[in-house]
Amino acid sequence: MKIVFLGTGAAVPAKNRNPTSIAIKFNGETFLFDCGEGTQRQMIYTDVSPMKIDNIFITHLHGDHILGIPGLLQSMGFNGRKTPINIYGPPETEGIINSMLNMGYHSINFQVNVYEIPIEKPYCILESESYKIYSYPMEHSIPTLGYVFKEKKKPQLDIKRAIELGINVGPDLKKLKEGRSVILKDGREIHPEDVLLPPKRGISIGYSGDTLPLKDFGKFLKSLDCNILIHEATFDSSKKENAFETMHSTIEDAVNIGAIAKVEELILTHISARYEDNMEIYLNEVINHSGEKNLNITIAEDLMEFPLKKVNKNNKNKK
């Protein structure tokens, strides 16, 4: 279980940074967030397999977040993919994907399902037994969505308590774990809440996409008990005005949102190509903020892998 940063650059490719794309590998599934140009080539250097991707989440329709999609889909077709793929994005995503499917000659013989997500409010857009994925409306020059990947943990059995209550280990415990009450031989009724401990804190990852800093996004992440925030920080704080004009965030903005969200890990991405030859000012600012507000700050690098086990290990339930 890990996050793989396939592209961490902004707007145009740089020598060391591909345009944006992030993969989350979770329990055998791979979720792709944004797919900038060259994403499929970046995958070659990682263990992210295009064939294992069933869901792609697009934050917005700027080229640096979507131009890798046609190539990726065509390669999937070339490799004989038959399983459908789901693509989620803001309004107008369907038209864009359709035009991508009309590009050139190819053998895409699998279903491409496109889901346009309204941008008025947050939604839970995908749910399985083990996770939920939410969208959140962000503020950029065009309609943009942030996303949250949240692991669902099952409540734990308090075995000691169950034995004290005289419950038979086996079918009764299974029923209780599934949330059903049981009646013991002596007539006592035991409810799930009598023997279940609250679920352990799971992994929860927020991703901002391109955006101005949004305090409400931070609050939303806090309400979902997020532990990791991947936030764009296109500029260092001396370029505050550029950030505001282009509707992007600075390092300081990202730190502030991370603090509101009360995450432990803040990962900065979507870094401007202007820092390509001289990262010093950016790096110094990050060092200055380090440890502030209980945040571990990491600057994302292309092909960087962030293990989720590390977060699980430090996962004490927050008060």
Beta bridge partners of 235: 250
Q: Which of 34, 47, 64, 216 is catalytic?
A: 64
Of residues 89 and 202, the one with the C-beta less far from Zn ion: 89
Q: Which residue in 210, 236, 264, 302 binds Zn ion (CB under 5 A)?
A: 210
| Catalytic site includes residue 64 | yes
58 vs 70: CA distance, rounded Å: 13
Q: Tell me which stretch binds Zn ion (CB under 5 A): 85-93, 108-116, 205-213, 297-305.
A: 205-213
Q: Pick the piece of the chain touching Zn ion (CB under 5 A) from 102-110, 152-160, 167-175, 206-214.
A: 206-214
Q: Is the dihedral of CA 175, 180, 181, 183 positive or negative?
A: negative
Number of residues that bind Zn ion (CB under 5 A): 3
**Dihedral angle at the C-alpha atoms of 23, 25, 31, 33, nearest 10 degrees?**
-20
> Could you tell me the smallest distance in angstroms from the CB atom of residue 170 to Zn ion?
55
Query: Residue 145 or residue 190: which is nearer to Zn ion going by CB?
Result: 145
Residue 140 or residue 262: which is nearer to Zn ion going by CB?
140
Smallest distance from Zn ion to CB 11, Å: 6
| Residue 230 neighbours by CB under 8 Å, 6+ apart | 3, 22, 205, 206, 207, 208, 267, 269, 300
**In the complex, minimum distance from the CB of residue 212 to Zn ion, in angstroms, rounded to a whole number:** 11
User: What pairing do the DSSP bridges indicate for beta strands 189-190 and 182-183?
Assistant: antiparallel
Nearer to Zn ion, 64 or 265 (CB): 64
Q: Are 243 and 235 in contact (CB under 8 A)?
A: yes
Interactions with Zn ion, residue window 70-129 (CB under 5 A) = none
Q: How far is the CB of 149 from Zn ion (least distance, A)?
A: 20
6 or 190: whose CB is closer to Zn ion? 6
Q: Are 149 and 131 in contact (CB under 8 A)?
A: yes
Q: To the nearest whole angstrom, how small is the minimum distance from the Cβ of residue 65 to Zn ion?
A: 6
How many Å apart are CA 92 and CA 96, to the nearest integer? 7
Of 168-176, 184-192, 194-202, 209-217: span binding Zn ion (CB under 5 A): 209-217
Residue number with CB closer to Zn ion (172 or 210): 210
Among 8, 9, 58, 64, binds Zn ion (CB under 5 A): 64
Cβ 203 to Zn ion, closest distance in Å?
25
Minimum CB–partner distance for residue 162 and Zn ion (Å) = 52
The nearer residue to Zn ion, 62 or 262, going by C-beta atoms, is: 62
233 by DSSP, 3-state: which? coil
Residue 143 DSSP SS3: coil
Sign of the CA dihedral running 119, 122, 123, 127? positive
Q: Does 236 bind Zn ion (CB under 5 A)?
A: no
The rounded distance, in Å, linking the Cα atoms of 12 and 119 is: 26
> CA 83, 86, 87 angle in degrees (round to 5)?
140
**52's tokens:** 């294992």
In the shown chain, the binding pattern of residues 23 to 62 toward Zn ion, with x for contact by CB under 5 A and - for none, equals ---------------------------------------x
Integer CA distances (angstroms), 278 to 28, 273, 284, 299, in order: 38, 10, 11, 14
Stretch that binds Zn ion, among 64-72, 91-99, 273-281, 288-296 (CB under 5 A): 64-72
Residues binding Zn ion (CB under 5 A): 62, 64, 210
Catalytically active residues are 64
